[in-house]
Each structure stands twice: as structure tokens, then as C-alpha cells.
Structure 1
Amino acid sequence: MLIRFRGTHTSIFHCNGVGLCSFRSQFLYSSTSTPAPTHFLVKYLVDSLGFSNEEAASTSSKVTSVKTLKNPDLVINFLKQTGFDNTQMKKMVSRAPKMLLRDVSKTLKPKFQCLMDLGLSGSDLVNVIAKDVQIIDRGLVTHLRPTIDFLRSILGSDENVVKALKRAPWLLTFGPHHTMEANRLLLRNIGFSDEKIRKLVVIYPNYLTQKPERIKDLLHRLENDFQVPRDSPFFHYGFQVLSSQKKSMLDRKIGIFKSFGWSDDDILEMFRKLPYCIGLSEVRIQEKLNLFMKELGLGPAYLVSHLGVLIYSLEKRVVPRMQVLKILDEKKLERRNLALSSVLSISESRFIRYFVLPYKDQIPDLNEPLQKTVAP
């Protein structure tokens, strides 16, 4: 139970004389120095959540008003019953130690129930709260419910709100609703329907919380510099790619493509067809262009027409499959003559059926490259 001290005459200590009692009360409660950690809480955090002694001391020093383990234990047990594991709880308590002081019945349960009524449950509920523990500290009536109502007004349904929150839990703790409203009006003013706005926000919730000036600039670049029309099915993804990186980084990535002989038109066509190609890291772009263009001799025209090959993982798909084909060709075994794009795009089971099982007697370990590097 949280015990408040209103003056130096109130103390939890038993004393033999007024002088000693007064001295200890003044010494303990009038000091302005940083409070020492509550040692019984340190032990509790170490034993129950796996904190190190140093981590536990740092965390408990921020909640020195804890006088018993009753409330922290109620909080931790409630979180366990809800489905949080020790790793998640440790991170949450580290980020927001005062959650150990919250009243389970009056504070935590109503907030959790509010999110469950929205449609979050099970692992989804746990993951949303674990990713942004500040949700627990937001007022139910003053913040959480108004924010959910506002998101519902934009996204049209509880289902869409849940989808957005699973992608961006911090939407629940974002403060300035006027910023989100300004961005919605911005899209409406340039001709976006409410349905198109919903799709954009569900796919890319960060859109709502950026400064309107930045949104205007991104939309201008997307339509004018990259020539992606608003009715393109990839408009949302193009916006996401542009907004997730600085212009200087984007320019460096374009420079890498140009160093391999790509023209401006090639790059624009690639972006319009599959913006994710520009979303790859600089290192990944370099590695993939080295493999497909320098080692395999493919030109920009082929890759622009088969952009999917640039998205596949080198380690999990491209290299293992190329190794299997190389083994078959080195042994001069007849095999299906599929284009590279088809070899990489077919499912794992079909690839095995086409290029591994027919040769299991001649090459028993042919499947080894796939087993070693390809995720199931």
C-alpha cells in the first residue's frame, strides 16, 4: 500500500522518545538527495523478473514510495494472467517502474478491458502494450477512449483501428489529435476518398503523426519526381518508402543503380512498379545488383521486367536455389529449363519437386543447400 507522509510527526518507525522519532523522520523525509533503492524491491525484481542487481537497483530507486510488495506482486500477477512473459514484463517495468504502483482493479483492468472491447485480445493485446508501456499511464477517460474514438472516425471500423495499432501501438499515446486531423484533411483536399485514406493509414499509420508540411513535400515528390499516380495500387507503398528515409539516402541508392547502368527511366519504372526495391538497404542493393548483373549477366531491362527477383532473400532463396541448379548443370543432368524469374518465384515445395526429388538417387544430398539456408 502506498503510504503518504504529510509531515515529520508521521512515521512508520517505532521509537522510544520524541527526539529520536523526530530526528529520524526529518532525516528520512526532508532530504533532497536522490532516494536510495528500496532493497526488498530490488530482491523482488531480481527473483521474479530476472533483473540484474544493478538493473533492479536503478529501477527501484524510481519508486521509493513502495513500502510493501503487495501492490507490485498484484501487478505482476495480473500481467502474467493476461499473457505477458518475463522478458516483456522486465522491459515494461524498466521503462515505466511506476506501473508497479498502479491499482489493478481501478486502473489496469479497466484500461485492458477498453482495448479488449476494441478487439485486441490474446497475443495482440500483449504485444501492443508491451511495445508501448506508456499506454498504461494514459488516462482512460481523458486520453485512451478519446484517441480510440478519433482513430475510429478516420479508419471507419474497430477492425481497422486494431490493424493500425498492431503496426503502430504508439498511436494510442500520441498526443496532438489536431496533427492527425490536419493530415486527414490534407489528403481529402487533394482528392483522396475516405476509403483511400483508410487504406493508407492502415498500411502506414505513421502518416497520421508526421508534420503536415512534410506530408505535402512527400506527396509532391511521389507524384511529380517519381511520377506515381494517385490511383496507382502502389501509391501507398511508394509513400511509405519515401517517408521512411532521408532524401540523401534515397539519392545514394539511386546512385548505386546508375553505377550499374540503370537509366532514369529504368529507375522510375522500377519505383512505379515495386517501390520496395528502393526500400532495400544500400548494402543489399549493391549485393543483389552484383549477383544478378555482374555474375549472371542480366541487364536493367530484364530486372525492370522481373523486379520480384530483387526482393527475394539472397541467403534464404536465391543463393541456395542457384547452388542446386549449379550442381545439376555441373553433372550434366537434364533438368527443367525455367527462366530465372520462375526458378526464384515458385514455391519451395514446387522447387523441390522440380529440381531435387527427380535426382534423389543420383545426388542424395542435393537438398542440402536448401536445408542449410532456407527458412521453413
Structure 2
Amino acid sequence: MVRCAASWDKRWMVSGLVAAEEERKEPAAGERWLLFASSLAPAQPSPAQPILAHYQRHDARVQPQTLTTLSVSRHQPRRAVTGHPLAAGASPPPRHASAPKLHLTQLLSSPYTSHVSPLHRLLSAAAASGISPAASPGFAAEEYLVSACGLTAAQALKASAKLSHLKSPAKPDAVLAGIGLSAADVATAVAKDPLLLCAGVERTLAPVVDGLTGLGLSRSEVARIAVFVPGKFRCRSIVSAVQYYLTLFGSMDNLLRLLKRGFWLHGSDLERVVKPNVAFLRECGLHDCDIAKLCIREPRVLRIKQQRLQAMVACAKALCVPHGSGMLGKALQAVASTDEEKIATKVDYLKKTLRWSDSEVGIALPNNPMVLTYSKERLQRLSEFLISEAGLEPGYIAHRPAMLNYSLDGRLRPRYYVMKYLKENRLLHRDRDYYSAVALTPKVFMDKFICPHKEAAPHLAEDYAAACRGEVPARFRFT
């Protein structure tokens, strides 16, 4: 019996040693990751390396007898485990019983083991010291933004905060390769919206690019949209939004002009805000081309609440702009950033500065509501020149309010000087209306008022060019 027990004990000890050796030769998944991560670690020693070296040296001194003791410990009460399994008087296991196997989890969980896994000890020591052996080196977002995206250091510092969750450049690289932007466009788009680098290429960007090109847009036009509204470019609803706005605005050029001015492309607002506003403006008599012009000048008009839009239309109609008039769009632009009280104050100033009566205001504003947007300084200078210097009647100006739109120094004053010079020298064969001369294009004005007098007034073209630069030539100084 003693011989059988001793024989069985030897087989049992050998089995335990073999199992333990196999486990030490084939590390667990966590240990394999640790070995891989340590191969990528920098050359300088980390706080965890002395701990690992210490326990590796300790493991080399572990005796086989200890493993045998551990293998029996799960069959015996904890206080009875003091040495050999037969020392406590325990009966040997049955002859045909299967030998117990040692597992790494059992070794790590046993409170009496002296052969503790190096990984387990390293994890415990690292946790106690605040070291995370599972932490990867991370993704240097700020450096990537500068080197790969062309951002300045200040832009990269600001944008990197939104990319702190990235662990590798794999997704940003895929985005930059798939979106096809130039280096300058990449820098502009990423600076506006760093999260563009996190967009899914297959799930989002590829369907967006395919959808936009399917609408007839070229790759360069798609790239311009990505630059102007990168935050909306990573939303698939942008395709339906672009399709609607192309129909409304008539051309891609108009849409790009809007995007450049900050127009907000968002599919979710299309049904809820934009389309109801467009329908209301159509009811007011505006055609799609008028709406497009209004949006180019005032991009936010389609995104405001309809209650505010209705108030704007009411305010425009209060200026005597009739329903369905072509001037309604300009009137809406004039009142978009103001209120009734400010409009009343500006009307009073017009009456005082340009010497208009109520009836003359009622004539001028419906034909040129944009005069409400002019500064007081500009109105004062126009009044001083047109009324005081040029001698025009306030009623003449009120019936021709478009002349207030022209540049005083670039058109109104120089052309007045030319006509005055020609009249003084009797070079005009008949009296010419001042406003008709002001309204001509530069080329037509040169053909009608400058070129025919090259022989009689050889310096006229030179003097006119100097006047357009803000100078007053001697020949244009009348007494």
C-alpha cells in the first residue's frame, strides 16, 4: 500500500510539474499582450520593469515540491497544508482517479501559492502605483494635425481636444485619402471641424460623395462643399438638402456663394423650417430667383422662425412696398436686421437730411428700400453733394432714389465734373440729364462723354480718371 501511494504521488507530482511548465511556456492572452506592448515601449526603464525583473528572478528559485503542495491544497483544509500531502495523514487518492490539473487562474487565486504569475504580480504592483500596463502610447493628435493636415500650431492645439479619443491615425488617414481634398482645403476643413477626421468612410463619407456626384456635381464642387460646411458633410442628409437647394437657387454657383457666406446646410431643418418659409415667401409674390437673391444677400432668412419672417414681411409692406413687387426681396433684406422702432428713426433722419416730405419718402422707399441700411454719415455726404453742390432738387432725388446707391467718389462726383466741364466749354449739343449719365456703365459713359471730345478736350480722359481716384483736377475746379 505504501509503495502504491508513493508511486502514485510521484506520478501526481510529475503531472503537476508538466502542466505548470506548459503554462509557463505558453503565456495567457494578457501575458502575450504584455510582451507585445513591452516590445513597443521606449528604451528607458518604466516603473514597472524592476518589479517584473524581481519576480522573474524569484520564479527561477521556485522548487517543484512547492507546486506539488499547491496542487493538493484544494483537496485539503487550508490549515492542514504544511508540506507533503501525506504528512497530514490524508489517505492517498484512489488508484484510478484522474490526476488534478493546474490552471493559471487557480494559481493566481490560491492564497497560499508562492509561485504567483509574473503578470498577476505586475498588474497588482502597477495598480498600486497608478501604472496602467494596458495603456497604449496613444495618438499624437496635435502633431498629426500639423504634419498631415497642415494646421498651424495654434489651430492644432485647439482642434486636438476634439480628437483625444483617437488611438491611431488609421481613421484620419482613411478620411484624408477618401475625401480627395487639396492640402489647403484639408487645412481649412479640419480647422473648421476636426471631427471630420473621425467620420466613417464607408458608412458616411462614401455615400455622401456618391450621392452628390449623382446629382451632377463635379469632384471639385463636392470638395468645395466639404470645405465650406465640413460639419454637415459628415451627415448623409446633406445629399437631399443639396438637391433641394440646387432646384431652388438654380445653379451650383449660387449655392456655393451661399455656403461661402455661412449658409447652413442641414437636412433636418429642411422640412421643418426651410420649406415652410419658402412656401410663405412664394405666397407673398416672390419667385424662386428673388428668393435666391434674397438668400445670397441675407443667408439666414430661410432659417429663421416663420413668425419672425412674417413680421419682416409686415414691416416691408409698411414701407409701401406692394404685395408681389420685385422690391419686396430688397425690402426684406433692408429690415432683416432691424425693427420697427429703428426703421421709424431712420425714416425721420431721411426726411431731415434729404429734405423729403412724407409723400416723397413714400415715393423713394418703395423703389429703393436699401436706403434704410445706409449710415448717417453716408446720407449726410450724399445730401451735401447732390443738393448743396450739384444743385439737385429733393423731389428729383426722391423720384430717382437709385442714384443713392452709387459711389459718391467713384461715380457721382466724377461724372458730375465731366458734364459740368462739357457744359462750361459748350461741348454738349443738348442738355443731358444728370441721372441718365450716372446710370450708364463705365464703358458706355466713356464712349458717349469722353471719347467724342478727344480733340477738343485732350486731357478730359486723364482728368476723369484722376477724379475717379478722389482727386480734383484744376480743369474741374469751377468758380
Q: Is TM-score (shorter-chain normalized) higher than 0.5?
A: yes
Q: 1:164 to 1:173 in 2, by over 3 A?
A: farther
Matches within 5 A, 1:1-376: 13-14=40-41, 17=52, 18-19=122-123, 24-25=131-132, 38-44=141-147, 49=150, 51-67=151-167, 71-72=171-172, 75-76=175-176, 81=180, 86=184, 88-104=185-201, 106-121=203-218, 125-138=222-235, 140=236, 143-148=237-242, 151=244, 157=247, 160=250, 162=252, 165-169=255-259, 170-173=263-266, 175-176=268-269, 177-184=271-278, 186=280, 191-192=283-284, 196=286, 198-205=288-295, 206-223=300-317, 225-260=318-353, 261-325=355-419, 332=425, 334-335=427-428, 337-360=431-454, 362-363=458-459, 365-369=462-466, 372=469
Deviation at 1:123, TM superposition (A): 6.3
Give 2:340's aligned amino acid.
Answer: K
Deviation at 1:281, TM superposition (A): 3.9
Q: Distance in 2 between matches of 1:353 and 1:116?
A: 47
Deviation at 1:210, TM superposition (A): 1.6
Deviation at 1:367, TM superposition (A): 4.8
Q: Distance in 2 between matches of 1:73 and 1:335?
A: 71
Given that 2:356 and 2:398 are in contact with CA atoms closer than 8 Å, whether structure 1 keeps it comes out as no
Deviation at 1:52, TM superposition (A): 3.2
SS for the counterpart of 1:366 is helix
Q: 1:42 to 1:319 in 2, by over 3 A?
A: same
Give 1:251's aligned amino acid.
Answer: A
Deviation at 1:237, TM superposition (A): 2.4
Given that 2:225 and 2:233 are in contact with CA atoms closer than 8 Å, whether structure 1 keeps it comes out as no
SS for the counterpart of 2:162 is coil
- Spell out, residue by residue over 1:78-113, the C-alpha distance to the aligned partner (whole angstroms, 9 max, x if none): 66x55x572x54332222112123345553343233
Q: 1:163 to 1:326 in 2, by over 3 A?
A: same
Aligned length: 342
Given that 1:309 and 1:341 are in contact with CA atoms closer than 8 Å, whether structure 2 keeps it comes out as yes
Which structure: larger Rg? 2
Q: Distance in 2 between matches of 1:159 and 1:109?
A: 26
- Spell out, residue by residue over 1:99-137, the C-alpha distance to the aligned partner (whole angstroms, 9 max, x if none): 123345553343233233334447655544433322223
Q: 1:28 to 1:241 in 2, by over 3 A?
A: farther
Given that 1:250 and 1:278 are in contact with CA atoms closer than 8 Å, whether structure 2 keeps it comes out as yes
* Other-structure match for 2:69: none
Deviation at 1:21, TM superposition (A): 7.5
The CA RMSD measured in Å over matched residues stands at 4.0
Deviation at 1:290, TM superposition (A): 2.9
Give 2:370's aligned amino acid.
Answer: Y
5+ residue gaps, structure 2, are: 1-32, 53-121, 471-479
Q: Distance in 2 between matches of 1:85 and 1:282?
A: 45
Given that 2:212 and 2:239 are in contact with CA atoms closer than 8 Å, whether structure 1 keeps it comes out as no
Deviation at 1:365, TM superposition (A): 2.7
- Spell out, residue by residue over 1:315-343, the C-alpha distance to the aligned partner (whole angstroms, 9 max, x if none): 4323343454566667x462464221122
* Other-structure match for 2:82: none
TM-score by length of 2: 0.59
Q: 1:215 to 1:279 in 2, by over 3 A?
A: same
Q: 1:311 to 1:137 in 2, by over 3 A?
A: same
Q: Distance in 2 between matches of 1:122 and 1:269?
A: 49
Identity %, equivalent residues = 19
Deviation at 1:360, TM superposition (A): 4.4
Q: 1:352 to 1:160 in 2, by over 3 A?
A: closer
TM-score by length of 1: 0.73
- Spell out, residue by residue over 1:157-200, the C-alpha distance to the aligned partner (whole angstroms, 9 max, x if none): 37638576345433422644323344356557xx557xx46345
Q: 1:110 to 1:338 in 2, by over 3 A?
A: farther
SS for the counterpart of 2:462 is coil
Q: 1:303 to 1:218 in 2, by over 3 A?
A: same
Give 2:231's aligned amino acid.
Answer: Q
Given that 2:346 and 2:372 are in contact with CA atoms closer than 8 Å, whether structure 1 keeps it comes out as yes
SS for the counterpart of 2:380 is helix
5+ residue gaps, structure 1, are: 1-7, 30-34
Deviation at 1:302, TM superposition (A): 0.7
